[in-house]
Structures are given as C-alpha cells and as structure tokens.
Structure 1
C-alpha cells in the first residue's frame, strides 16, 4: 500500500466521501488536487499535502476532518513537512496574506493570529498548493468561477516569482490569462 493509499483510507474513515464540495465530494476534490500536483512533478510532501490540505478546514471551507490540536496524527500519516504545509495552508488568513504575499512572503494564521515567514521553498509549496486547489474549484463550479475568477486572475499572476513554472502555466491556461 502506498502512502497515498493509506491517506485515502484515512480520508474515507473521516467521512470525506460524504462531504459535498465543488465537483462532487471533498474526497474527490482532494484526490484531484493530489493528482494535479503530481502531474506538475512536485515532490511527495506537496502531493500528500494536496491530498489532505483541508484536514483542518480552510479560510474558504470550514469543514474540519481533524482538529488542529491533533496535528501529530496527521504528521504520523503524511510526515512533518507535508503536515506543516497543510497547517500553513489550512490556517492561512487569505485576506491578510494573499495579495501581499509577493512582497512580504509572510503567511498570516487564522489559527493563531500571528504571521510567519516561511523559507522560499515553503512559500513555493504554499503558492503551488493554493493555486492548484483554486483551479480545481474554479473548473468545477460555475458559481465560484463567476464569483472569484476575477480575483484569482488579479492575484495569482503576481505569484509567478513564487510558484513553480508549470503551476503558473496551468494557472494562465485555466484562468485564460494572457
């Protein structure tokens, strides 16, 4: 059994298959994000973080599969680097972080109210996961595409220096950015 298979079983045990999400269930969404990150040849930690990125809920999706006080459980499942990305992603206060990210490379936490300055590699992983997640939602929900498409088109191009080139190309193609 692969690490991804073990994580998928954990997600099913947590009920992710029955949680509605754009394009079907949360389980399906998490799987698509994982596969898209893999398609960009990103590392195993990023891929496993993609598969569990909503474990603690997110600024845009309040459903929690695992309370943040139980972080060790997710660390044991996906490893410390992947869990740290899930925690950063899930805890991100998007209003305070996203637009300023290229200038500050600071991520504000909605969990703690504090800011952190991740390493350049951690910022890249955060940007890649954030973009790939939103591209999946954008493609599967006309409502979200209409509501957030212009916002994504205004923010994500500014992340080009931070994100992986293949993720940015996917972003430009999906959001039809010139």
Structure 2
C-alpha cells in the first residue's frame, strides 16, 4: 500500500513542492519513518505518509480535493484515510486547547462541524502531529528556536495521548 501511495504522491507532484528540509515528498517519507521507529501500526504509518493530501491548517497546498477521499481510501485503506482527514480538517486554534481533555472539542475547518473524536483517533492525531513537527524542528533550526518551547508545551498537554517513544523524542528534540 505504501508503494502505491508514494507512486500517487509522485504523480501529484509532491516531489516538486518545496517544503522545509527539501520537498514535500521527502518530508512525508520522513514522517512515516519516524512513526515506524516509534512502533506505529501500518495504518498510522500510511497516514503519516499521506497526511498532507488535503492540505492542513499549517500547510494549505492540497494534493487532492476532498471529493476524492474515496480514491485515497482505496490506496491507503479506510482507517489511514480517516486519520489523514482528521489531521487535515483540524482547526488548530479551536481544537488544540481541549484536544487532550476527556470531552475534546474538535472543529473541522472544512465543514465547521464541532465534535469529539474517538480516543484512538485523537491518539493517532497526536502521534502524527508530533512526528510532523519534530521533522520540521530537525530540518529547520530557526523553526526549532522560534517554536520549540511552544511545541514542547503543546506536546506536554498531549502527553496522555502520545506513546512513550514519541514523548521522549519530543523532549529530546524540543527540550534542548
């Protein structure tokens, strides 16, 4: 499945889109590798590889319109696509403050819908967020300098949602 996803990313030009540390494709592959190193299940790794398909609140360039979600699900599986959608749909300003709370308030930036995602989806979101931000912090020292403390505080609030390897990596990369 991952090979098909990489082939599709190439067809859509991810290897030509500039992104910190090189290209969007290189970033997506590093995020997948980071998740794998933490022992993430295959569906979460595939979501990491494809997390920017619909754009995100922090990276608006979408590779695929939302009306083609079924196509992405066919390539990476329904579970992985649901994680990709949640990640892309997150209105960070509205969702981050309560995301780790029992009754999380999640605002979908595409639909405006407010809901509380299932705990497993929130764990996946937190783990993917950590892998994404840690990659950016590693490849861009200026970003790490400017935002490292804020990111460490965010992941400290997400602590109950993160795996132990992800939390240790957050501390190692952002704490120094």
Say whether the fold is shared (TM-score over 0.5). yes
Question: Quick check: 2:149–2:175 contact (8 Å CA) kept in 1?
Answer: no
Cα distance in 1, alignment partners of residues 15 and 149 from structure 2: 30
Find the counterpart in structure 2 of residue 25 from structure 1: 23
Question: Quick check: 1:30–1:50 contact (8 Å CA) kept in 2?
Answer: yes
Cα distance in 1, alignment partners of residues 152 and 37 from structure 2: 22
Instruction: Report the number of matched residues.
Output: 175
Cα distance in 1, alignment partners of residues 162 and 58 from structure 2: 21
| CA displacement at 1:113 relative to structure 2 | 1.0
| CA displacement at 1:146 relative to structure 2 | 3.0
> Within the alignment, does 1:145 sit opposite 2:124 as a pair?
no
Cα distance in 1, alignment partners of residues 106 and 146 from structure 2: 24
| CA displacement at 1:17 relative to structure 2 | 0.2
Ranges of 4+ aligned residues in structure 1 off by more than 4 Å: none
Task: Summarize the alignment of residues 103-114 of structure 1 with structure 2, pairs less than 5 Å apart.
Answer: 103=101, 104-114=103-113
Cα distance in 1, alignment partners of residues 64 and 116 from structure 2: 25
Cα distance in 2, alignment partners of residues 102 and 154 from structure 1: 13
Question: Quick check: 1:88–1:107 contact (8 Å CA) kept in 2?
Answer: no
Query: Which of 58, 61, 75 pairs up with 1:60?
Result: 58
| CA displacement at 1:54 relative to structure 2 | 0.2
Find the counterpart in structure 2 of residue 164 from structure 1: 163
TM-score, normalised by the number of residues in structure 2: 0.95
Find the counterpart in structure 1 of residue 80 from structure 2: 82
What is the root-mean-square deviation of aligned Cα atoms in Å? 1.2
Question: Quick check: 2:54–2:63 contact (8 Å CA) kept in 1?
Answer: yes
Cα distance in 2, alignment partners of residues 27 and 141 from structure 1: 16
TM-score, normalised by the number of residues in structure 1: 0.94
Q: Which moved more, 1:167-176 or 1:47-56?
A: 167-176
Question: Quick check: 2:144–2:174 contact (8 Å CA) kept in 1?
Answer: no
Q: Which string of whole-angstrom CA distances, capped at 9 and with x for unpartnered residues, describes residues 28-58 of structure 1?
A: 0000000000111111110000000000000
Cα distance in 2, alignment partners of residues 141 and 82 from structure 1: 28
Find the counterpart in structure 2 of residue 44 from structure 1: 42
Q: Which string of whole-angstrom CA distances, capped at 9 and with x for unpartnered residues, describes residues 144-178 of structure 1?
A: 2233222202211111111112111111111116x
